[in-house]
Amino acid sequence: MIIDHICIAVKNLSETIEYWADVFGYVQMTKPIVNSRQKVKVVFLKKDLSVIVKLIEPTQGNESLEKFVEQGGGFHHICFKCDNLNEKKIELAIKGVRMLVPPQPGEDFTYHKIAFLG
C-alpha cells in the first residue's frame, strides 16, 4: 500500500483552496464534485514533490461532518492505495484493523472501490 492522499475537512472549499495556494503553494488539481454517497463536496490539490491533499466540505444531510467543521474542522483521513482491495481488507482484518465502511464505488475516484478502516 502507498499513500494516495490526505484529507482535510473544511467549512468552505473556495476559501480553503485560496488559503492552501497562498500559504502552502498548492494548486487546484480537480474541479469540485459532489460525492452523494458520503454527502461531501470534494476537490483535490497538488504540489510538486508533495502528497495530494483532498479537501471535503459537507453537503446537506452530513450532520457529523457539519459539526466537525463548525468546531474548526481539520485532518479527516489518510488514504492508502492498493492493487486488490478485497485481498487487502482480509489481510488487514487479520491484523486487527476494523472495517468502518465496506467497499463501495468512490464517486471522486472514477468509481474505483473505496473503504474506510479504523
Taking Cα atoms as reference points, which of 46, 48, 8, 49 lies closest to residue 26? Answer: 46
Answer for the pair 65, 85: CB distance below 8 angstroms, yes or no.
no
Global confidence as pTM: 0.87
Asked if pLDDT for residue 85 goes beyond 80, the answer is yes
CA 60 – CA 21 distance, rounded (Å): 27
Task: Give the three cell numbers for residue 109.
Answer: 475516484
CA 63 – CA 116 distance, rounded (Å): 18
Half-sphere exposure of 24 (CA within 13 A, CB side): 17
> What percentage of the chain reaches a pLDDT higher than 70?
96
* Residues in contact with 89: Cβ distance below 8 Å, sequence separation at least 6, in sequence order: 99, 103, 115, 117
Q: What is the mean pLDDT of the chain?
A: 91
- What's the pLDDT score for residue 20? 98
**pLDDT tens per residue across span 11-31:** 999 999 999 999 999 999 999
* Topology of the domain comprising 2-83: 2,3-Dihydroxybiphenyl 1,2-Dioxygenase; domain 1 (3.10.180)
